[in-house]
Amino acid sequence: MHYAGLFPCFFQYFLLHLLQRNHKAITNIHNMKKRLYSIFALLFTALCLVAQTSMHVGSYNIRYANNGDRNRGNGWESRCPKLISLINYEQWDIFGAQEVLHRQLQDMAAGLQDYAHIGKGRRDGNTKGEYAPIFYSKNRLTCLKQGQFWLSETPDSVGSVGWDASMERICTWGYFEDKSTKWRFWFFNLHMDHRGAISRAESSRLILAKIDEMCGDEPYILTGDFNANQNEEPYTLLTSSGKLRDTYTEAKHRMAENGTYNSFRTDNFTTNRIDHIFVSPHFSVHRHGVLTYNYWQPAQDEQDKSHKAHAISDHYPIAATLELPARTKNENL
């Protein structure tokens, strides 16, 4: 027999068999990669959803800029960089601010580049008077609707002064959507009057009526300087309504070794909390804190070589970490 002629046939058969086996192996590898990619994609999505169901919320009365504070060493020019650093460090997803004049709003917007904001001046519904703005993370949230109303008998009347209040008072609101999970919530931020007791109580009743009118069954958050502590009527009207819960009392973990008003005194201690974060029953509250940050500057007396502690504002900021229950995470997807 001529075996030499069989060699090319055998070689071709062997090569074909090898290619077929390799093709199956390559196909199996590709299929395995696809399955792994799908698994990783599902895990990543799940992790994102879990991460995004927590929300870090803040409230901060920043103290309006004025010459009297500057003369006492607490000028906005000194405080602003520290305030910007604090907020960028804390990385709140959304927060309400109070006593914000237009130029302060511009300074904050310039320094908080990861945030967008909504709100108008309380005097003219534009740029005059103090704002109660809402700042929110541009990366995480979209503002779908926004507006404001005045804390008065005529809340839609621009610049109106209510009841026995000493000046105009405003509440800013926004309707937000989480870009990842698509769940939506309402956010209200206000500053109640510091003199009118009737005004503060009526403002609480007004905000409860607005929640009923606007929010339906959706989650909502209320922040602000209420000028009322935890034992006073404006506070108890809100917490006894069944609509709002104080994140301070509801938090699983709390760091609040002082009250919220310091009068620019770093050694001031009080048990009174006049700044609050309230949430609807949809939320559970993981953490709440009163953030007693200070900064240090050289003494104004040139002969004194020491450094003095300064408060960033005459109020301490407060913060809360909120979580949504499972049924709420997807109910408005």
**Predicted confidence (pLDDT) per residue in 205-255, tens digit:** 999 999 999 999 999 999 999 999 999 999 999 999 999 999 999 999 999
Same-domain check for residues 74 and 218: yes
Same-domain check for residues 283 and 180: yes
CA angle (32 as vertex; 37, 44 as ends), nearest 5:
20
Same-domain check for residues 216 and 324: yes
Phi then psi for residue 213, to 5 deg, are -70, -35
Is the pLDDT at 171 greater than 70? The verdict is yes
Query: Which region among 13-17, 100-104, 286-290 has the lowest average model confidence (pLDDT)?
Result: 13-17
User: In whole angstroms, what is the distance from residue 29 CA to residue 36 CA?
Assistant: 10
Q: Is residue 123 part of a domain?
A: yes
Q: Is residue 32 part of a domain?
A: yes
Same-domain check for residues 203 and 131: yes
Contact 333, 182 (CB under 8 A): yes
Q: Is residue 174 part of a domain?
A: yes
- pLDDT at residue 83 in the model: 98
CA angle (95 as vertex; 181, 267 as ends), nearest 5:
140
The count of residues in the chain is 333
Residue percentage of the chain with pLDDT more than 90: 78
Same-domain check for residues 288 and 257: yes
CATH for 96 = 3.60.10.10
- pLDDT at residue 34 in the model: 62
User: In whole angstroms, what is the distance from residue 87 CA to residue 111 CA?
Assistant: 10
Same-domain check for residues 10 and 65: no
User: In whole angstroms, what is the distance from residue 139 CA to residue 151 CA?
Assistant: 32
Contact 285, 246 (CB under 8 A): no
Q: Is residue 204 part of a domain?
A: yes
Is the pLDDT at 326 greater than 80? The verdict is no
Same-domain check for residues 123 and 144: yes
- Crossing angle for the helix pair 102-111 and 76-90, nearest 10 degrees? 40
Query: What range defines the domain where residue 24 resides?
Result: 3-46
Return the SS3 of 87. Answer: helix
- pLDDT at residue 143 in the model: 98
Same-domain check for residues 83 and 27: no
Return the SS3 of 113. Answer: coil
297, 326, 229, 228: which is closest to 77 by C-alpha? 297
Same-domain check for residues 223 and 186: yes
Same-domain check for residues 77 and 188: yes
Q: Is residue 10 part of a domain?
A: yes
User: In whole angstroms, what is the distance from residue 302 CA to residue 158 CA?
Assistant: 48
Q: Is residue 51 part of a domain?
A: no
Same-domain check for residues 93 and 237: yes
Same-domain check for residues 61 and 87: yes
If you average pLDDT over every residue of the chain, what do you get? 89
Instruction: Tell me what the mean pLDDT of segment 85-92 comes to.
Output: 98
Q: Is residue 235 part of a domain?
A: yes
- pLDDT at residue 33 in the model: 54
Strand-by-strand arrangement of the 115-118 sheet: 115-118, 134-137, 94-98, 54-61, 318-323, 284-290, 253-255
Based on the structure, what is the number of domains in the chain? 2
Q: Is residue 14 part of a domain?
A: yes
